[in-house]
Amino acid sequence: MAGPIDIPKSDHDLSPTTADRLLSPFHRFMRFEAAGGVLLILCALSAMVWANSGWAASYNELFYQNKVTVGFGDWALSKPFILWINDLLMAVFFLLVGLEIKREVLVGELQSPRKAALPIAAAIGGMAIPGLVYALVNMGQGSMSGWGVPMATDIAFALGVLALCGSRVPLSVRVFLTSLAIVDDLGALLVIAVFYTEKIGVTYLGYAGGLLMLMAILNAIGVRRVLVYMLLGLVVWYFVLKSGVHATIAGLLVAMTIPAKTRVDQARYSGFVRSMLERFDADSKGSERTWTTGRQQSAVLAIEDAGHKVETPVRRLEHSLIPWVAFLILPVFALANAGVPVSGGGEDEAAASVWSSRALWGVVLGLLVGKPVGVFGFAWLAHKMGIGVLPEGASWRHVFGAAWLSGIGFTMALFIANLAFQSETDLDA
């Protein structure tokens, strides 16, 4: 027998609170990111095994020697598979990061200045101190260029580990760690744009800027079709790539132009949904059937259509990208970049060189020591100075644990390492 229909009785029941608007997408984000973090770990381990097995040649051939050509004429791009992954797929990842930053600023932890101050301060400390530790270890060495490697947090890995703790960790701590990682990623993107871009093609950068301005105008005049922004965004990516600035920056810039406001009046939406629920309820009174009538199905479809219209393009695009990023883009990135030969055959001397590399120990100490000290220390200072407040329901013990988890820097560390190091020994480290 069908159970009773639970129909909201007031506007309060129908209208989500600010917390609901934040936590609804956040729960979804956590669910996918945690599961994706486990897959990311498996892909990284698989890459290590593959690159150190008898099939190592096939690994190098697939990712580093196999060229893929896309386009035609002067617009054609011919790159090894690894560069399509690092330049194009990771631009989609940074598009998602940009959308998350936008959401956090509008309705999330970064909306309130005092709530935002703690993760922002923690992120600044978590970027500055690891970079300083790395610089101290590599002072005067050729590997000094890798100071940006230990700066960023791998959000997928960190949330994957945090998920293993279950309900013992307050949700506010997970939101804090996510906000911290998002600010970290923004900082890492700025570092890439400023310090790891060698030559800038001003003309192409101007083309990209013009298209971004056009997208901002389309946003302002009410164009809300996500497909329009994605097609223009692809052209922006091409121009940024040709300019010499790392192409992933395009993802963040495009995210800033996606419309974030709903075009449906919330009060009218609430009244419309209530009327549809009443129509649904009218056909179910006094009936024990387990199927719906035509009127009921019509009401359900009308509610679904209205829900689609009231959802903002930013949230709609974010929801659609999360599973692709968590289960395809980041795992493929890990598989393509984590396959580092560690030893074997006549390579013992090379392996010893890797383990004695200052770059390796700079990154290790930066992540394991600098990151927790920087995150916890700057968060504590912000709280003591009255700038920021602790997440609701969290203690300093929770913040300390989150600080240690922020030292997981796999994805972004690999990404920046590929830009920073010219030496194979430093890159392998």
How far apart, in whole angstroms, are the C-alpha atoms of residue 266 and residue 277?
A: 16
CA 358 to chain centre: 29
The kind and range of the H/E element at 79 are strand 77-80
The pLDDT score that the predictor gives to residue 143 is 77
Q: Is this prediction's pTM over 0.85?
A: no
Contact predicate 105/97, CB 8 Å: no
Return the DSSP state at 109.
T
How far apart, in whole angstroms, are the C-alpha atoms of residue 149 and residue 137?
A: 13
The pLDDT score that the predictor gives to residue 95 is 92
Please provide the DSSP assignment of 377-423 as one string: HHHHHHHHTTS--PPTT--HHHHHHHHHHTT--HHHHHHHHHHH--S
Six-digit token pair at 84? 């399509």
How far apart, in whole angstroms, are the C-alpha atoms of residue 165 and residue 408?
A: 16
* Domains in the chain, CATH or no CATH each: 19-197+318-428 (1.20.1530.10)
List pLDDT tens digits, range 398-413: 899 999 988 887 666 7
Residue 422, judged by CB atoms within 10 A of its CB (0-12, 13-18, 19+), counts as exposed
- The rounded radius of gyration (Å) of the Cα atoms in the chain is 24
> Tokens 């400023």 sit at which residue?
194
Nearest to 251 by CA among 261, 262, 241: 241
Six-digit token pair at 312? 């903002």
Which amino acid appears at position 180 of this protein?
L
| Torsional class of 345: left (φ above 0), alpha (ψ -120 to 50), beta (otherwise) | left
Question: What residues contact 185, with CB distance under 8 A and at least 6 apart?
Answer: 94, 97, 152, 153, 155, 412
Q: Which residues of the chain have pLDDT under 50?
A: 1-23, 345-346
Contact predicate 264/310, CB 8 Å: yes
φ/ψ (deg, to 5) at 228: -60, -45
How far apart, in whole angstroms, are the C-alpha atoms of residue 99 and residue 116?
A: 17
How far apart, in whole angstroms, are the C-alpha atoms of residue 63 and residue 74?
A: 25
Please provide the DSSP assignment of 324-389 as one string: HIIIIIHHHHHHHH-------GGGHHHHHHHHT-HHHHHHHHIIIIIHHHHHHHHHHHHHHTTS--
CB atoms closer than 10 angstroms to residue 264: 15
Using CA atoms, how far residue 358 sits from 5, 189, 416, in Å, is: 65, 24, 17
Helices (H), 52-112: 56-60, 81-84, 90-107
Q: Establish how many alpha carbons lie within 13 A of residue 230's alpha carbon, considering only the half-sphere containing its beta carbon.
A: 12
CA 376 to chain centre: 22
The pLDDT score that the predictor gives to residue 30 is 55
How far apart, in whole angstroms, are the C-alpha atoms of residue 152 and residue 123?
A: 9
The pLDDT score that the predictor gives to residue 269 is 77
